[in-house]
Structure 1
Amino acid sequence: MITIDSLTKRYGAQLAVSDVSFSCTPGTVTGFLGPNGAGKSTTLRALVGLATPTSGTATIGGRAYRDLPNAGRQVGVLLDAGAQHAGRTGREVLTLAALVLGVGQERVDEVLGRVGLAGKPAAKRVGNYSLGMKQRLGLAAALLGDPQVLVLDEPANGLDPDGIFWMRGLLRGFADRGGTVLLSSHLLREVEAVADQLVVIAGGRIVARGSKQELLGGRGTLVRGPDRVVLERALRTAGIAVVPGEGDGLVADADPLAVGQAVAAAGAVLTELRPAGGEGLEELFRSLTHADGSQQVQEVAA
């Protein structure tokens, strides 16, 4: 369980994050999203003990990362795939990490195979790795201690499409086995594909949080027909509020059954009737992070 509670971090006069609060529960992947400079990295660094909050707390299982005994056995962290010794081989990097964590060589072999670096890639020096290979090695290091929590910043950066698909399955499988994943990424489509929960940050503040289904699902019912004026009149007569929808559609503030009954009672004709919304994560992200600074938190209880 990851809990960020009223986290605020200042660097001198600069306010990096302000009153940030959200949680990540076991068995879920939480997508942590925001534009550059929004405060994502600062939040993650505070969570794993690399930055000290000015106020508020960031805990894992109710304890600060620094207070966890042998933290790498409980929390796998990947914040910078390039932060590895370029002169060592991939196997050497993991072997040294295994010695620190107190895990055996068999675990090194296991994670190398799991991330696709077994055999010749493991014997190459990290300085000769591609960015995608460095990401895989970073994920191997995060998984090495067999943790229950993963904290990942841009883990798909540099991966090819097959690699991204592989990573999606790895994270989904980790969560489905009861693990907790906090994932920061600019690849919105991939986050949408794997995440259960979404947290969006802009200007150092949380502007949306909740389940993916409810944040992206929209509200109301979209209706279309050959005569928009007749449809609108029928709905308003039934006491159902209506606003313009996409294209020539209308969005009615009622469920599809109530909308269909109102339209049928008026003898109007429908060509489309479905739940409104569903524009996707990219549209939600743009609407929340391109505001003029007057954002209000959009929160949906999971």
Structure 2
Amino acid sequence: MIEVEGLTKRYGDVTAVADVSFTCAPGTVTGFLGPNGAGKSTTMRMICGLTPPTEGSATVKGVPYRRIANPGRHVGVLLDAGAQHAGRTGRETLRLTAQILGVDPARADRMLEVVGLPAKAARRRVGGYSLGMRQRLGIAQALMGDPSVLILDEPANGLDPEGIYWMRTLLRDFAGRGGTVLLSSHLLREVEAVADRFVVIAGGRIAAQGAKEELLSRHGGTRVRGEDPGALGAALTGAGLAFRTAGDGAFLVDADAGAVGRAAARAGVVLLELRQADGGGLEELFLSLTAAAAPSAPAGATGKAEEAVR
């Protein structure tokens, strides 16, 4: 369980994160989404105790991250795959992690196998790894303590299509065993495929959050087609329902099917089609929520803000 309550981070007169609250429950994958500079990484660093909040609090498994004894045994974290020591081999990196966490060193080889790093790669120095290999090693490191919570910031960067599919399967299996996953990613289609819930942040504030089906269906609206399009359009207008033409004689209405059906019935319009519209998926939802949400930075503060919210 991850609980975030009113998290705020200010750097002088720049507010990087403002009053952010959400919960990630066991058995779920939560997609944490937002444009560059929205405050995602700052929020995740506050959750992990790396950046002190100006206001608010965050707990993992009921306590602040910094108060968890041997946190790697409970929470697997990957915030920057490039932070690994370039001079160590992949196997040395994981065996050192095992020593720090107090787990069986043999688990290092098991985790290398889980993340798909072969023996030859495990013997290479991390400085020679590709970004995708570093991501796999970082995930192996996050899993070394057999945690029940994963916090991952852009873990799919550098992965090829097969690696992205592997990542999706791994996270769904982890959640399926009761684990809690907080996942930040720019790969919206992959987040849509793996996540149960979305938290969308823009301009340092929550733009929307909720179950995947709820948010996507709310954004899609209702598709309706009537025997008399003119009469149907007049009925919708009379009911105060906003709509647009779909191009095949149907209308896309910004309302639920019940409201649309009642408007048509009151006007005596015969309907040929009434159903949830096929929205543009997570990508369209993301763009609509974040397009105008980011506030303007104070004069002279743009560079500082960009640096602060990474």
Q: TM-score, normalised by structure 1?
A: 0.89
Aligned to 1:215, the other structure's residue is in SS state: helix
1:201 is paired with a residue whose SS is: strand
- Change in Cα spacing, 1:130 to 1:252, as seen in structure 2 (3 Å) is closer
C-alpha distance in 2, partners of 1:236/1:88?
68
Is residue 245 from structure 1 mapped to residue 244 from structure 2 by the alignment?
Answer: yes
Which residue of structure 2 lines up, in the alignment, with residue 297 of structure 1? none
Give the drift of 1:226. 5.8
2:59 matches 1:59:
yes
Which amino acid in the other structure matches residue 110 of structure 1? R
1:107 to partner: Cα distance: 1.2
User: Is the CA contact 2:29–2:195 (under 8 Å) kept in the aligned structure 1?
Assistant: yes
SS in 2 for 1:105: coil
Tell me the equivalent position of 1:38.
Answer: 38
Whole-angstrom CA distance in 1 between matches of 2:176 and 2:21? 24
Q: RMSD between aligned alpha carbons?
A: 2.3
1:243 Cα deviation after fit: 2.4
1:186 CA displacement:
0.6
User: Shift of the alpha carbon at 1:266?
Assistant: 3.4
Shift of residue 16, structure 1, vs aligned partner? 1.0
Matches within 5 A, 1:8-47: 8-47=8-47
2: CA distance, partners of 1:141 / 1:33: 24
1:32 touches 1:199 (CA, 8 Å); kept in 2? yes
Cα distance change, pair 285–273 in 1 and its aligned pair in 2 (3 A): same
Q: Check conservation: 1:231, 1:263, Cα contact below 8 A.
A: no
Could you tell me which amino acid in structure 2 is paired with residue 230 of structure 1? Answer: A
Instruction: Determine the structure 2 residue equivalent to 1:276.
Output: 277
> Does the C-alpha gap of structure 1 residues 291 and 236 become closer, same or farther in structure 2, counting only changes over 3 Å?
closer
Name 1:199's counterpart in structure 2: 199
CA distance in 1, matches of 2:85, 2:155: 18
Inter-CA distance 162–216: structure 2 relative to 1 (3 Å threshold) = same
CA-to-aligned-CA distance 1:59-102 (integer Å, 9 cap, x gap): 10121111001000000000000111111110000000000000
- Following superposition of structure 1 onto structure 2, how do residues 183-222 of structure 1 map, counting pairs within 5 Å? 183-218=183-218, 220-222=221-223
Q: How many residues align?
A: 291
Change (3 A) 1:290 1:258: closer
Q: Distance in 2 between matches of 1:122 and 1:138?
A: 13
Return the letter of the residue paired with 1:60. V
Percent identity for Structure 1 against Structure 2: 62
Deviates more, 1:241-250 or 1:259-268: 259-268
Aligned partners of 2:125, 2:12: CA distance in 1, in Å? 40
On the 8 A contact 1:230/1:268 being kept in 2, the answer is no
- SS at 1:26 equivalent: coil
Q: CA deviation at 1:196?
A: 0.6
Partner residue in 2 for 1:223: 224
2:132 maps to a residue whose letter is G
Larger deviation: 191-200 or 255-264?
A: 255-264
User: Which structure carries more relative contact order (alpha carbon 8 Å, separation 6+)?
Assistant: 2
Q: Say whether 1:81 aligns with 2:71.
A: no
What is residue 163 of structure 1 aligned with on the other side? 163
AA of the residue aligned to 2:268: A
Counterpart Cα distance in 1 of 2:142 and 2:256? 47
Letter in 2 for 1:89: T
Structure 1: 5+ residue stretches without partners? 295-302
Gaps of 5+ in 2: 296-310
Aligned partner of residue 17 in structure 2, secondary structure: strand
Amino acid in the other structure paired with 2:34: G
Q: Distance in 2 between matches of 1:286 and 1:82?
A: 29
Amino acid aligned to 1:82:
G
Equivalent-residue separation in structure 2 for 1:199 and 1:127 (angstroms): 34
Structure 1 counterpart of 2:187, one-letter code:
L
Match of 1:288 in 2: 289
TM-score by length of 2: 0.87
Indicate how the Cα distance of structure 1 residues 292 and 235 shifts in structure 2: closer, same or farther if over 3 A, else same: closer
Work out whether residues 7 and 20 of structure 1, in 8 Å CA contact, stay in contact via their aligned partners in 2. Answer: yes
Cα distance in 1 for partners of 2:293, 2:145 equals 44
Shift of 1:55: 1.1
Write the letter of the residue equivalent to 2:270: A
SS of structure 1 residue aligned to 2:6 = strand
Distance in 1 of aligned mates of 2:26 and 2:93: 29
